[in-house]
Each structure stands twice: as structure tokens, then as C-alpha cells.
């Protein structure tokens, strides 16, 4: 049986993703659960603690995904990593939408996030090194570091970018998920110049798997690009 604490976290996550964390109060969460605010405060003294609890879940999920690979990697393993990244981006999209707000509001969370990013970069670098050893990518050490950092930049800021440009996505789950999938497409485009072997052979298949519009600009702006200059 799911505990009340777990139910609070799961309901909060759903409401934060749908409505934005700033638009959801602890009273809204308690009402959605059918419990009293006092019952909620027994488990979480304020909304910030709920956010911190959800972040703990998020970082555990992502760091587990990024555990050191065992043996040579293939393009299919890349799909596994991409699907894991996508699942994390989608499931905890509220956090990345308003990341700077959360980090400024909670110094303890900011410190935890700093350690988390450091761990992500270290583990992600190990994976890219294994991809290089397996002949999937061809990069020197400087390019590898840049690729890892830029991959994280896309992943951690994509939700904020698309929701700033497409606020309509918050009320349209299909659009919202399509926008998140397109973030993985952007990572594939970032990697494209360095792909070799079977990864290069399956490049178009990977692009088609995650691309959600004819062009990124069309997706972000919400209209065909030929209309962008028409007034």
C-alpha cells in the first residue's frame, strides 16, 4: 500500500507539472488528495520540503541511469540512455521549467543540486568515453568534455526554454511531451558531427524517433517558419 507521504509526493508532482509549482499551494495538494492540510503538514512542513523530496527522487532516478556501463556500447544502448533522459525530463519537467527560482529560494537545495550536477558530469563523461572506445563517437578529450557539458545544458534548460516560448504546452500534454522529445533530438544533432560506425548508420532513424516537427524553430514558435516574417 502506498504511504501517505508517497501519495503527497506523487500528487504534488502531477499538479506541479500540470499547473506550475508557483500556482499550486499546499491546500491544493491536500484537497486533491482528500486529506486535511494538517495531515499534509505532518509529513511535509511546507511546499519547499515537497520540492526537495521530489528532487531527491529525480536525482536518484537519473544517477541510477548513468551508472558506469559494463562492456562495449552500441547504438541501441544509446537509445536506452536517451529514453532514460527523456523519462526524467518528462516526469520532473516542472523542476527544470523554473530551476533558477528553486535554487534561489532554497540554499540547501542549491547545494544538493551542485553536487548532483557534478555527479552527472562525471558519470556522463565515463559513458562518452566508453562510446569513444566502442567506436560510436570520434572525439578528442576537449571535444568529449564539451559534448558532455553541452548535452547537460540542453537537458537541464530545454524545459524552461520551450515553456517560455510555448506556454500553451502546460495545458496540452501531447504537445508538452512532444516538446520534451524534441530536446533529445537536439542532443542527437549536437552529437551528429562526431558519430561513427553503426551510430552514423542509424542517425536518421534516431532523428525520426525524437523529432516532433519539421524544424525546431517551427516547434518552438508554434507556426510555420515561412510565416515568421509576415506582418
pLDDT, mean of residues 49-71: 93
Q: Could you read off the pLDDT of 138-179 as tens digits, one per residue? A: 999 999 999 999 999 999 999 888 888 888 887 788 888 888
Q: Which fold has domain 51-227?
A: Tetracycline Repressor; domain 2 (1.10.357)
* Per-residue model confidence (pLDDT) at position 225: 44
pLDDT-based confidence at 221, cuts 50/70/90? Answer: confident
pLDDT-based confidence at 227, cuts 50/70/90? Answer: very low
* Per-residue model confidence (pLDDT) at position 49: 96
pLDDT-based confidence at 44, cuts 50/70/90? Answer: very high
Q: Could you read off the pLDDT of 93-120 as tens digits, one per residue? A: 999 989 999 999 999 999 999 999 999 9
* Per-residue model confidence (pLDDT) at position 121: 95
Instruction: Give the whole-angstrom CA distance, residue 105 versus residue 108.
Output: 9
Locate the domains of the chain by residue range.
1-45, 51-227
Position 228 pLDDT exceeds 50: no
User: b/e string for 38-51 if b means 16 or more Cβ within 10 A?
Assistant: eebeebbeebeebb
pLDDT-based confidence at 205, cuts 50/70/90? Answer: very high
pLDDT-based confidence at 86, cuts 50/70/90? Answer: confident
Q: What is the DSSP string of the chain?
A: ---HHHHHHHHHHHHHHHH-GGG--HHHHHHHHT--HHHHHHH-SSHHHHHHHHHHHHHHHHHHHTSPP-S---HHHHHHHHHHHHHHHHHTHHHHHTHHHHHHH-HHHHHHHHHHHHHHHHHHHHHHHHHHHTTSB---HHHHHHHHHHHHHHHHHHHHHHHHH-GGGGG-HHHHHHHHHHHHHHHHHHHGGGB-HHHHHTHHHHHHHH--SS-HHHHHHTS-GGGTT--
Q: Give the CATH architecture of domain 1-45.
A: Orthogonal Bundle (1.10)
* Per-residue model confidence (pLDDT) at position 1: 58
What's this model's pTM, rounded to 2 decimal places? Answer: 0.87
* Per-residue model confidence (pLDDT) at position 230: 45
* Per-residue model confidence (pLDDT) at position 224: 53
Specify whether the CB–CB gap between 12 and 52 falls below 8 A: no
Set of cell numbers at residue 74: 552500441
Set of cell numbers at residue 207: 532523428
Set of cell numbers at residue 163: 515553456
Amino acid at each position: 500500500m502506498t504511504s501517505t507521504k508517497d501519495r503527497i509526493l506523487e500528487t504534488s508532482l502531477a499538479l506541479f507539472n500540470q499547473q506550475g509549482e508557483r500556482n499550486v499551494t499546499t491546500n491544493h495538494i491536500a484537497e486533491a488528495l482528500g486529506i486535511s492540510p494538517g495531515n499534509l503538514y505532518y509529513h511535509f512542513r511546507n511546499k519547499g520540503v515537497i520540492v526537495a523530496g521530489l528532487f531527491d527522487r529525480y536525482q536518484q532516478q537519473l544517477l541510477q541511469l548513468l551508472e558506469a556501463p559494463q562492456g562495449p556500447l552500441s547504438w541501441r544502448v544509446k537509445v536506452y540512455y536517451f529514453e532514460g533522459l527523456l523519462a526524467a525530463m518528462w516526469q520532473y519537467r516542472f523542476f527544470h521549467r523554473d530551476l533558477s527560482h528553486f535554487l534561489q529560494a532554497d540554499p540547501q537545495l542549491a547545494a544538493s543540486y551542485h553536487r548532483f550536477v557534478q555527479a552527472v558530469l562525471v558519470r556522463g563523461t565515463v559513458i562518452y568515453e566508453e562510446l569513444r572506445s566502442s567506436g560510436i563517437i570520434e572525439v578528442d578529450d576537449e571535444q568529449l568534455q564539451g559534448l558532455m557539458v553541452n548535452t547537460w545544458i540542453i537537458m537541464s534548460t530545454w524545459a524552461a526554454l520551450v515553456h517560455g516560448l510555448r506556454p500553451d504546452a502546460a495545458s496540452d500534454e501531447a504537445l508538452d511531451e512532444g516538446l520534451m522529445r524534441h530536446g533529445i533530438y537536439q542532443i542527437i544533432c549536437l552529437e551528429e558531427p562526431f558519430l561513427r560506425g553503426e551510430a552514423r548508420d542509424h542517425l536518421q532513424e534516431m532523428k525520426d524517433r525524437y523529432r516532433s516537427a519539421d524544424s525546431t524553430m517551427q516547434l518552438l514558435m508554434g507556426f510555420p517558419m515561412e510565416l515568421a516574417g509576415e506582418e
